[in-house]
Structure 1
Amino acid sequence: MSDLPPDLDRLRTLETWLALSLKRVREEIAAAERPTQPRRSPRKPAAARPAVARREPTPDWGISSAGIGRSVAEIHRGDCFAGGVMQPLSAERARAELADGVQPCGVCRPDRVLNRT
């Protein structure tokens, strides 16, 4: 069952109203964006532009080393804020490291996701 009117005349009226409403919304968006757009200088030729540094994709899992005096390794989810600098790991490798006794992070708890038993 449709919530739209069944006859063509009312459908055309609704279409006109929606088109006018969409036009007004787009005008308001354009007006709101105008003052916030910074003035841009002319584009430099491609050769003169500096290269953009590309970020490496976030790994699904990682291992980090921390500790004072002796190194303590922890397994983390790739998006864990507590991981610091991590070496990327596959899920299989992360499971193997956990099985070998490497500690899971207490913040992101990768052992719960990796089904550690």
Structure 2
Amino acid sequence: MFDDLPPDLDRLHTLRVWHALWLHRIDAKIARLERRKAEEEHGRKNRPKLAEWVVEVGIGTGKPPVQVHAGTCHMIGSRRRPISHDEARRLLADGLRACTHCQPDTQLHIIDLLIVSE
């Protein structure tokens, strides 16, 4: 049935060891890929929600707020912290600058506050 195998015992043992080593390597690779896939799935399921509103903060003591952004804005700088809806409204009402790209003041219906307060 398997006439293509070597006829002597020594070479058959060598082939068996060689194939066992390859099976071990293949099994190890399968285990690594399955572990990576499980980790990626876990990361997708447990990814933190994006903040709805973000304040960009400045440099220095206290890291003063500089500008308010919507959480999905592509213009947010690297120094930032998430804020609540109410805090975003309060910061904008207190005169903090709104991003001109995502326009959080318009989204939060805070328009022309300076004209109203004068």
Q: Normalising to structure 1: TM-score of the pair?
A: 0.51
Counterparts in 2 of 1:19-58, with a 5 A limit?
Answer: 41-44=29-32, 49=35, 55-58=47-50
Residue from 95, 103, 110 that aligns with 1:116: 110
In structure 1, stretches of 5+ residues that fail to align are 1-40
**Secondary structure of residue in 1 paired with 2:30:** coil
Larger radius of gyration: 2
For 2:52, the equivalent position in structure 1 comes to 60
Aligned mates of 1:80, 1:66 — CA distance in 2: 18
Higher helix share: 2
The one-letter code matched in structure 2 to 1:104 is: A
Give the CA RMSD over aligned residues.
2.9
In structure 2, stretches of 5+ residues that fail to align are 1-28, 112-118
For 1:105, the equivalent position in structure 2 comes to 99
Question: What's the offset of the Cα at 1:66?
Answer: 4.3
For 1:80, the equivalent position in structure 2 comes to 73
Task: Figure out how many residues of one structure are paired with residues of the other and give that number.
Answer: 74
For 2:84, the equivalent position in structure 1 comes to 90
Question: What's the offset of the Cα at 1:65?
Answer: 2.1
In 1, are the aligned partners of 2:55 and 2:65 still within 8 Å (CA)? Answer: no
In 1, are the aligned partners of 2:57 and 2:81 still within 8 Å (CA)? Answer: no
Identity of aligned residues (%): 28
**Secondary structure of residue in 1 paired with 2:31:** coil
